[in-house]
Structure 1
Amino acid sequence: MHDGEQKRNKWDVVELQKRAGVIVVLVVALLVPMWRSPPFCHAVLCIVLAGGCLEFWWAACSHAVGTQEYILLTVLFLGWFLPSLAGLQVYQDVVGHKCLVECLVIQLAVGDSAQMLVGRSMGRHYACPTISPKKTYEGYLGGAAITLLYASVVHRWPSLNVIVAYTFGCIGDLYFSVVKRRLGIKDYSRLLSSHGGLLDRFDSFIFASNALVWKAVYQQILSGRRIVK
């Protein structure tokens, strides 16, 4: 086995150990309490959104140069912040808090990990090397298949919801990667130590959860139901 292959395999083991640790923390400290308590779920979602907002602008103010750059970053910021802020007001009535807890598991624990594993073991064709150099078409497709199987069997999610969440989760990951590449940074912060900041961990979930919420809102509008707040 070549040195490069050995290093890659060693890295994969270390990365898997880190992800396993994160999953345990997520389940014990976040997912179970969020599942059992809607107010706690809402509080966590608010903290993630507020923390992500602060991280975004801390990174922007530390690395952006020029008025045009700030205008572009403002547009990119509003593109995810406004839908997320509005979604916080309606998600309980359209999908319920348990759906977003399941989305955390499906998108972050299963989807992202499946992408990484399939991409590193089978990936040959890079999808967007200038934005996210390690992402491959094989990783995306393999991750989609595993996520679809898991979410359908374990959580009984409709296939369309899984595909929507997974697809927009991948878009969210690339979206925030574009900002990082433009700012010339690896992570938005070091809040979570080697795992980066909140945006680095929850980037795909932000887009995935928004997609589920606004898909449900659209379906309610089509069916003539009124969202009560």
Structure 2
Amino acid sequence: MPGQEIWLHPILSFEPSQAMLTELHKRIGVFVGLVTCLLLPMWASELYCYVVLCCFVAGGTLEYWTAVYSNVSSREDWAVYVILFMAWFLPTAAALQIYNGVVGHTRLVECLIIQLVVGDSAQLIVGRSIGRHHVCVKLSPKKTLEGYIGGFVLTFLYGAMVHGWSPVNICVVYVFGCAGDLYFSAIKRRLGIKDYSRVLSSHGGLLDRIDSFMFAANALVWKAAFLSPD
């Protein structure tokens, strides 16, 4: 039917571009590095996990204030960025002190894999493959409705089948992960910058990479602390 051809054509005719293949290769390389240098050691050692998470937060904090210092001059704006900083730093710093007794370090490593590695990559691949309806254009121009939905489906399947996570926990980390990405994107737009730093070259700064995980991990820890770990 003609109507079906219109809807099916973008999917059936899709061919991965060179830029997408290059991005995919970069993400595979990052994934291998994550597994080798971070995930496996973090899984094996509570102390190593804690040190890495503290380094994440410390590095993100340094990048945040460096970006603010370089782009903000008025006292009023500084007050705004102090508030925006406290909104994510205070709960994160507190979560660092209780996460091991609430969810355990292995669960947090699983959260890192599910949200940061699988979730973000799934959104990117699905969004660039079949994404047509852009959402939150002012905050993150490349995000699409198809990317969000497809990313959720793939993340849900991975979290449930590989790690045995409950549907509630998968939904919590995915939704809050997306919120974290948009939150830090909004701050970047306000500052007028593309990335918080260039420490990771084309991948931007550390805060650009862990923004979604930071919100997802916070949501997981505080849900377990006040409601239920499952």
Flag whether TM exceeds 0.5 (same fold): yes
Question: Which sits farther off after the overlay, 184-193 or 148-157?
Answer: 184-193
Aligned to 2:108: 100
Structure 1 gaps, min length 5:
222-229
CA displacement 1:60-87 (0-9 Å, x = unmatched): 0001131121111111110100000000
What does 1:175-194 align with in structure 2 at a 5 Å threshold? 175-194=183-202
Aligned to 2:141: 133
How far the C-alpha of 1:8 sits from its partner, in A, is 7.4
Which of the residues 27, 31, 34 maps onto 2:35? 27
Paired with 1:10 and 1:72, the residues of 2 have a C-alpha distance of 41
Aligned to 1:40: 48
Aligned to 2:169: 161
Percent identity between the two aligned chains: 57
2:88 corresponds to 1:80: yes
| Code of the aligned partner of 1:24 | V
CA displacement 1:91-123 (0-9 Å, x = unmatched): 001100001111111111110010011111111
The 8 Å contact of residues 126 and 151 in structure 2, kept in 1 or not, is answered as yes
| Aligned Cα root-mean-square deviation (Å) | 1.7
How far the C-alpha of 1:157 sits from its partner, in A, is 0.4
2:129 corresponds to 1:114: no
TM-score by length of 2: 0.91
The 8 Å contact of residues 16 and 129 in structure 2, kept in 1 or not, is answered as no
Paired with 2:20 and 2:116, the residues of 1 have a C-alpha distance of 17
Which of the residues 141, 145, 170 maps onto 2:178? 170
Q: Secondary structure at the match of 1:173?
A: helix
What does 1:194-209 align with in structure 2 at a 5 Å threshold? 194-209=202-217
How far the C-alpha of 1:220 sits from its partner, in A, is 5.8
Aligned to 2:158: 150
Paired with 1:8 and 1:62, the residues of 2 have a C-alpha distance of 38
Which of the residues 77, 91, 99 maps onto 1:91? 99
Aligned to 1:64: 72
Structure 2 gaps, min length 5:
1-12
How far the C-alpha of 1:192 sits from its partner, in A, is 1.2
| Code of the aligned partner of 2:42 | M
Q: List, as ranges, runs of 4+ consecutive aligned residues in structure 1 with deviation greater than 3 Å.
A: 5-8
CA displacement 1:5-29 (0-9 Å, x = unmatched): 9997111001000100000000000
The size of the alignment, in residue pairs, is 217
| Code of the aligned partner of 1:105 | I
How far the C-alpha of 1:135 sits from its partner, in A, is 0.2
Paired with 1:94 and 1:167, the residues of 2 have a C-alpha distance of 21
Aligned to 1:227: none
| Code of the aligned partner of 2:78 | Y
